[in-house]
Amino acid sequence: MRIKTWHVELFIDEDGDRTVARAVLHTGSPSHVQGRGATKRSPHDPDVPEIGDEVAAARALHELADDLLRTAAGDIAAIEHKPVRLGFEEPVGAREPDVGLPPAGTPRQRHLSGRL
């Protein structure tokens, strides 16, 4: 049996009412998978930074998990030459590129931003 160790780094940046987190998975290969999550505290809510950290981190880890599934589905689809579904809505086709962290402001990132 061969045991592998992968590491996840979680970076959390707080700026006033906003918290942004980035989760990066290091697998030992030259490339890595990452996810981003953000949240904004409502002005009516009490100032509890730990809650913003938790929400942003959870969203970043969730996106990382989705991207890791897409990467695996893309790898399987390339071998099988047919679409593959691994626990998310859209099947991944054999020629679809790996999905990384989208540029800031894309619709995928905007839906991650929420209110506490």
- Tell me, what's the pLDDT at 106? 36
Cα separation, 29 vs 109, in Å, equals 26
| Number of domains into which the chain is organized | 1
35-69 pLDDT tens trace: 999 999 999 999 999 999 999 999 999 999 999 99
| Residue 59 resides in a domain | yes
Q: Is the pLDDT reported for residue 104 higher than 70?
A: no
Q: What is the pLDDT of residues 4-46, one digit of tens each?
A: 999 999 999 999 999 999 999 999 988 889 999 999 999 999 9
Report the largest interatomic distance among the alpha carbons of the chain, rounded to a whole angstrom: 54
Partners of 19 in the β-ladder:
14, 39
Tally Cβ neighbours within 10 Å of residue 87: 9
Q: Give the per-residue pLDDT at 17.
A: 94
Alpha carbon distances (Å) from 46 to 30, 41, 112: 42, 9, 21
Q: What pLDDT shows up at residue 99?
A: 38
**Domain limits for position 73:** 7-99+107-115
The CATH code of the domain that includes 61 is 3.30.160.240
Average the pLDDT over 79-101 and give the result: 62
Residue 2 lies in a domain: no
- Quote the tokens at residue 41: 């505290």
Amino acid at 101: L
